[in-house]
Amino acid sequence: MEVAAIIPAFNEEKTVGNVIKTLKKVKNVHRIVVVSDGSEDGTVHSAMQYNQVEVIELLDNRGKGGAIKAGLDRCDSEIILILDADLLGLTVKHVEDLLDPVIKERALMAVGIFEKGRMATDIAQKMAPFLSGQRALKRDLLENISDLDLSRFGIEVALHQYVEDNDIEAEIVQLPDLSHVMKEEKLGFFKGALARVKMYWEIFKYVARIGADPREKL
């Protein structure tokens, strides 16, 4: 089963390269697709420094769901790996562990949760594991999200609700010593806080629209 890694990226020129480097070492990852979601920095240039990496440049910001849909349209792989572009400490083992439940058909989706990385990101993911951006899943699950391209930051909620509604097996995978750059670190405290509020607002709007219950846990 071919695995394609899709990396949605918005202004991640400093970190996307390290994610790509790690993915290129994973033998089970056959394609790497970086989707620059209206980036205004050197994200596209950084990604294009690596051979055999497909780079999609979206001129307008479509949100995470729209970026993933653009990546999905580019490939026909049966298994899709979704990773954030701002990960810190990503290793080959993290990727292999995340893919393992899906490749071995123990689950149709695996959700990666930070553990022993940084306190702020660990706590956030323990409180809301369904919002994790690190996932391996069968392509069909994404294709069955009817408004994937409109979900923006609600994509994780959409996937969570879909597996809940259809009683689909999903597996939690601990990713020790992994974290990501927080918005306040990228943008400064005030701009970062505003970006975080915007992200949660998009999630809230999507939750309200589809009638999901974010209190449910995988």
CA distance 98 to 74: 22
Which residue stretches of the chain have pLDDT < 70? 116-130, 147-154, 182-218
The pLDDT of residue 118 is: 55
Quick check: is 64 in a domain? yes
Which helix (H) or strand (E) is 65 found in, with range?
A: helix 63-74
Quick check: is 13 in a domain? yes
Quick check: is 217 in a domain? no
The pLDDT of residue 1 is: 86
The pLDDT of residue 106 is: 96
The pLDDT of residue 159 is: 85
The pLDDT of residue 181 is: 81
Token readout for 179 is 């974290």
Sheet with strand 31-37: strands edge to edge: 54-58, 31-37, 3-9, 79-82, 135-138, 109-115, 170-176
Token readout for 69 is 């849909």
**Contact between 37 and 67 (Cβ < 8 Å):** yes
**Contact between 67 and 159 (Cβ < 8 Å):** no
**Contact between 187 and 197 (Cβ < 8 Å):** no
The pLDDT of residue 207 is: 57
Q: What is the pTM of this model?
A: 0.81
The pLDDT of residue 108 is: 96
**CATH for 189:** 3.90.550.10
Quick check: is 36 in a domain? yes
Quick check: is 218 in a domain? no
Quick check: is 215 in a domain? no
**Residue numbers of the domain that contains 23:** 3-210
Quick check: is 14 in a domain? yes
CA distance 85 to 146: 25
149: CB partners within 8 A, 6+ apart = 62, 65, 66, 69, 70
Quick check: is 151 in a domain? yes
The pLDDT of residue 218 is: 43
**Total domain count, the chain:** 1
